[in-house]
Structure 1
Amino acid sequence: MARFNRKGVTQIHFLPTIADANLLPTRAEITGGNNLTQGIHTIDGWTLENQAIETPDMASTFVPKIDGDDSAADSSLGFYEDNTLDDIETDLAKGTTGYIAIFSKGDVPAGKGLDVYPVKVASNSKQYSADNEAAKILVQFVITDRPAFNQTVPAAV
């Protein structure tokens, strides 16, 4: 098993549109999106969680469970703020809808590991601090539908 460090490999893009109902973007949709990778300093969430259902019975003191509803974890991306451009503030303004595409093993055509999340921006807030650190922005997302996991990255054009 070849291990790797996600930093320098994983890419995160915001795609305004995806036509395919199975959430597999075309290369043109990826190119037309915004590669956010370089400006991200933190990532939180971006997982699917299951709300297990307890199913106790009188025959045992052990309480078994069955799988229940799926939901997405609270998800956010932390960015460094640019002192001349306002791309993050405008491209990911509150209320913006689209898709977060996470290329977990890189944007490698025909490679696996493309996860796509339908999203709406819930908040876009500057993070103020008097500490000795770079200026930051936190963008929180709500995941609006079931994500698609481990898709094949489309071929380059």
Structure 2
Amino acid sequence: MPRFSRKGVTKVLFLETIAATTHIPTRAELTGATKLTKDIAAFEGFNLENEEIPTPDLESTFTSKIPGDDSAADSSLTFYEDDTSSTLEEALAKGTTGFVVVLRKGDVPTSKSMDIWPVRVASRSAAITIDNEAAKWTARFSITDTPVLDAPVPAAAP
């Protein structure tokens, strides 16, 4: 099985709206999205967690479990700060709603590797440090609805 590194392959976008009630964007919506990939310094969360339910019984000392509620892990993106533009900070202002779209295997049409996360920006803050590193800021996201996982990447425009 071929393996790959996410660096240089995975794409991350932000869309303010998606017209379809399925939350799956069209090619035109992806093309018009705010591109985040190049500015991302760290990617946290954006995965589902399940709170299993213990189901012990009197017959055994082993406690079995069944799947319970799903929830999203705490999710954030850390960006390199741009000293001439505030485009991303404006696009991801506190309270902004939209969709973080992750093309896990890159922009490969028909690949079932697109995840769409309905979000609200919960906070945005600069990371101030005196260490010898690039300036960064972090946007934390509340996942507001069930994400769409493994959706097909829309076909390229003809």
Q: TM-score range with shorter-chain normalisation? A: over 0.9
Name the SS for the 2:126 alignment partner: strand
Which residue does the alignment assign to 2:19? 19
Matched, 1:106 2:102: no
Which residue does the alignment assign to 1:144? 144
Which residue does the alignment assign to 1:46? 46
Which residue does the alignment assign to 2:63? 63
How far apart are the structure 2 equivalents of 1:22 and 1:129? 42
How far apart are the structure 2 equivalents of 1:84 and 1:24? 33
Deviation string for 1:117-152 (max 9, x for gaps)?
A: 000000110000000000000100010000011111
Question: How high is the TM-score relative to the length of structure 2?
Answer: 0.97
Question: Partner letter of residue 105 of structure 1?
Answer: K
Which residue does the alignment assign to 2:35? 35
- The structural deviation recorded for 1:3 is 0.3
Deviation string for 1:21-52 (max 9, x for gaps)?
A: 22210011111211100000100001011000
Name the SS for the 2:88 alignment partner: helix
What are the ranges of 5 or more consecutive residues in structure 2 without an aligned counterpart? Answer: none
Which residue does the alignment assign to 1:80? 80
Q: C-alpha root-mean-square deviation of aligned residues, in Å?
A: 0.7
Which residue does the alignment assign to 1:129? 129
How far apart are the structure 1 equivalents of 2:28 and 2:48? 27
Question: Partner letter of residue 78 of structure 2?
Answer: G
- The structural deviation recorded for 1:112 is 2.0
Question: How high is the TM-score relative to the length of structure 1?
Answer: 0.98
Which residue does the alignment assign to 1:155? 155
Deviation string for 1:50-71 (max 9, x for gaps)?
A: 0000011111100000000000
How far apart are the structure 2 equivalents of 1:75 and 1:44? 5
How far apart are the structure 2 equivalents of 1:140 and 1:99? 13
Percent identical pairs in the alignment equals: 55
